[in-house]
Amino acid sequence: MADAVTTAPSSSSPARTFILPGDPLRPPDTHVDVRTQELQINMGPQHPSTHGVLRVAIWVDGEIVTRADPDIGYLHRCAEKIGESVTNIQYVPYTDRYDYLAAMNNNLGYCLAVERIAEVEVPERAQYIRTIAVELNRIASHLMAVGTYGLDVGAFTPFFYAFREREEILRILEWICGARLTYNFIRIGGVMRDAPEGWIPDILKFLDLFESRLDEFNDLLTHNHIFVQRTANVGVITLEDALAYGITGPMLRGSGLRYDLRREAPYLLYDRFEFDVPIGTGIKGQVGDCWDRYWVRILEMRESARIVRQAITQMPAGEIMAKNVRHLAFKSKPGEGYLGTENPRGELGYYLISEGQPNSYRSRIRAPSFCNLSILGKLLPGTMLADAVAIIGSTDIVLGEVDR
C-alpha cells in the first residue's frame, strides 16, 4: 500500500485507509461498471475562503483530498529588492503592506531591527505608545481572523459582530495616525505623533466594552455545537510537526507549546507587563486541532487588552522621537542582525545587512504566514474538502506577507 492515504479519526468517523486509483493493490471494481477517477481542482486564486490570492491545487477522490500543493506568488511585489534600493527611512511604509492586517507590528519589527543596527535610542514614552498601538492592532487582527473563520465555516453573523469591534479599534488608530489599515505610524526612532487629547480615555472606554462583547462572541460562535463539530479534531498538528515545519505564533501555541517571543526574547517593554500566554489544551478535541488554534486567538485578545491597560497606566510623559535620527537618511552603521518579534501570526523577523549606507545591502523578511503555510502540503491529504477550508482558515495567513 505504497500510496494509501489514511484519514485522521474525527468526531464522526474512525480512521479509514484509502487505496488510490492506479495503485496495483487496489481491488478491481468488478461489482460496479463505473470508473472513478481522481479529480484535480483548483482552490483559488480567486476563492472566497483562501484569504487572499492563494492557489491550492487539490487532488480529490470523491470528497477526500489526496494531495495538496499550495501555489503562491500571486501577490509578489519584490519587497526584498525594493528594500535594497530605498533608504531605511523610506522603507517603513513598504513594511505596512506585507501583513496588512497587522501593519503596526510590521512597522515595529522593521524599526526595531534598524534601530538595533544603527544604535538609535528610543524614548520611553514612544515605546509605550508603540506597545499600545501594536497590541490594539493585534486585537484587530485576531478579530478579523476569527470573524472570517466563522465565515469560512458558514456562520455569517459572528463576522459582523467581530467587525463591529474592529471598527472601533480602527477608528482609534485613525485618530492618532490618520490611517485605518496601513499606518506608517511607528517610525525609526519613535512614533509619528503623540497621543492626542482624549485618545487614552477613548481606548479605556473601548476596552471596558470589549470584554463583554468577547463573551457574546464566544456564546455565538466558539461554543456552538456545529462549529465545534466542524473544527475540533480537524487539522491536528502535532508539536513535533509544528516545530519541524517552523511554525510559530498561535498555530504553535495551539499545539500546546507555551512559546511567545514576548516572553522568550522580550523586545520593546514586554518584560514590564504581566500577561499570560494561552495554549491549546484540547478541550473540545485533540490538542492542536483547528478549534485550539482558534481558541488561542480568542484568549490572546483578552491578554492584549490587559497589556494595553497596563501600558496606559505606566506611560510617562516625554519625547516621542529620538534625537539623532535624521542622519540615517545619509548614513548608517555597518552590521548585520536579525530581530524577531511576535506578530499576530507568528514570528516576524527582519534580517538586515547594513554596510553603512542609508539603504540596506540586504533586507530579508521572515514572514510567519510563509512558514505556517508550508505545512499545508502535509496536513491536507486525508481530509475532506470542507475540512480543507476549515484548515486553511485556521492557519490565518495573509498573502501579502506570504508573497511579499
Partner 1 sequence: MTTQEIKQALEKDGLGAGLSLFEGPKDPAIVVPREQLVKVARHLRDARHLAFDLLIMVTGTHMIEKRDAKGVVVREPGFELIYHVRSVKNRALLAFKVKLPIGDPTVDSVSAIWPAADWHERETFDLVGITFKGHPDLRRILLPDDWEGHPLRKDYAYPKAYRDINLEVDPPWPTP
Partner 2 sequence: MDALVSLFRDSWHWAAGTSFGVALVISVLFIVAFISVWAMFGVWLERKASADFQVRLGPMEVGPHGLLQSLADGLKLAFKEDLVPKDADRFLFVFAPAVAFCGAFAAFVAIPFSPAFNVVDVDLGVFFVIAITAIGVIGVLMAGWSSNNKWSLYGAMREAAQLVSYEIPSALALMIPVLVTGSLGLRSIVEFQCMPSDGDLKAASLVYLSPNGWLALYSPWTLVAFIVYYVASLAECKRAPFDLPEAESELVAGFHTEYSGLRFSFFFLEEYGMMFVVSAVATAVFLGGWQPLPWLSINFATLGFVGHLLAVGVFLAKTIFLVWVQIWMRWTLPRLRVDQVMVMGYKYLIPITLVALTMMACYVAYGIRYVPGIG
Under the binding rule (CB under 8 A), the answer on residue 190 touching partner 2 is no
**In whole angstroms, what separates CA 128 from the centre of its chain?**
23
CA distance 376 to 373: 6
Closer to partner 2 by CB, 12 or 30: give it: 12
368, 365, 388, 321: which is closest to 91 by C-alpha? 365
Does position 160 interact with partner 2 (CB under 8 A)? The reply is yes
Whether the CB-CB separation of 398 and 51 falls below 8 Å is answered with yes
259 backbone φψ class: left, alpha, beta (φ>0; ψ -120 to 50): beta
Residue 384 binds which of partner 2, partner 1, none (CB < 5-8 A, kind-dependent): partner 2
- Find the helix packing angle between 103-118 and 88-96, rounded to 10°: 160
**293 three-class SS:** helix
Q: Which is nearer to partner 1, 150 or 278 (CB)?
A: 278
Nearer Cβ to partner 1, position 133 or 252? Answer: 252
- Contact between 249 and 237 under an 8 Å Cβ cutoff? The reply is no
Whose cell is 471494481? That residue is: 29
DSSP letter (8 states) at residue 321:
B
- Candidates 130, 145, 137, 115; CA nearest to 335 is 115
Distance of CA 73 to the CA centre of its chain: 18
* Distance, CA of 286 to CA of 126 (rounded, Å): 42
Cell of 350: 527582519
- Any contact of residue 82 with partner 2 (CB under 8 A)? no
- Helices of type H across 178-287: 199-217, 225-231, 239-244, 250-254, 261-264
Q: Of partner 1, partner 2, none, which one does residue 156 interact with (CB within 5 to 8 Å by kind)?
A: partner 2
Closest approach of Cβ 224 to partner 2, in Å? 6
Q: Which is nearer to partner 2, 161 or 206 (CB)?
A: 161
Residue 180 near which of partner 1, partner 2, none (CB within 5-8 Å, type-dependent): none
Q: Which of 19, 26, 45, 49 binds partner 2 (CB under 8 A)?
A: 49
**Residue number, 322 or 388, with CB nearest to partner 2:** 388
Number of neighbours of residue 198 by Cβ within 10 angstroms = 9
Of 94, 128, 161, 210, which lies in the binding site for partner 2, with binding defined by CB under 8 A? 161
Q: Of these partners, partner 2, partner 1, none, which one is at the site of residue 155 (CB under 5 to 8 Å by kind)?
A: partner 2
Give dist(CA 28, CA 255) in Å, integer.
41
Using the minimum distance from each CB to partner 1, give the nearer residue, 93 or 335.
335
Q: How far is the CB of 13 from partner 2 (least distance, A)?
A: 6
**By CB under 8 A, what part of segment 215-244 binds partner 2?**
220-221, 224, 226-227, 229-230
The helix/strand/coil state of 389 is helix
**DSSP state, 219?**
I
Q: Which does 281 bind (CB under 5 to 8 A by kind): partner 2, partner 1, none?
A: none
Q: With CB under 8 A, what is the number of residues at the site for partner 2?
A: 31
In the complex, the residues that contact partner 1 under the rule CB under 8 A are 72-73, 76, 78, 80-81, 116-117, 243-248, 257, 259, 264-265, 333-338, 340, 347, 349, 351, 353, 355, 361-362, 364, 366, 370-371, 373-374, 378, 403-404
Q: Of partner 1, partner 2, none, which one sits near residue 1, judging by CB under 5 to 8 A according to partner kind?
A: none
Nearest to 302 by CA among 218, 214, 206: 214
- Per CB under 8 A, does 16 bind partner 2? no
Q: Pick what 94 binds: partner 1, partner 2, none; C-beta below 5 to 8 Å, kind-dependent.
A: none
Q: What kind and span of H or E run contains 366? A: strand 362-366
9 contact partners, CB below 8 Å, separation of at least 6: 15, 233
- Specify the residue, 101 or 232, whose C-beta has the smaller distance to partner 2: 232
Considering only 56, 153, 173, 397, the residue that binds partner 2 (CB under 8 A) is 153
Is 165 one of the binding residues for partner 2 (CB under 8 A)? Answer: no
Q: Which is nearer to partner 1, 263 or 309 (CB)?
A: 263
User: What 3 state SS string does 159-189 have?
Assistant: HHHHHHHHHHHHHHHHHHHCCCCCCCCEECC
Which of 152, 347 has the CB closer to partner 2? 152
Asked if 183 interacts with partner 2 (CB under 8 A), we say no
Binding residues vs partner 2 (CB under 8 A): 12-13, 39, 41, 47-49, 63, 150-157, 160-161, 164, 220-221, 224, 226-227, 229-230, 384-387, 389
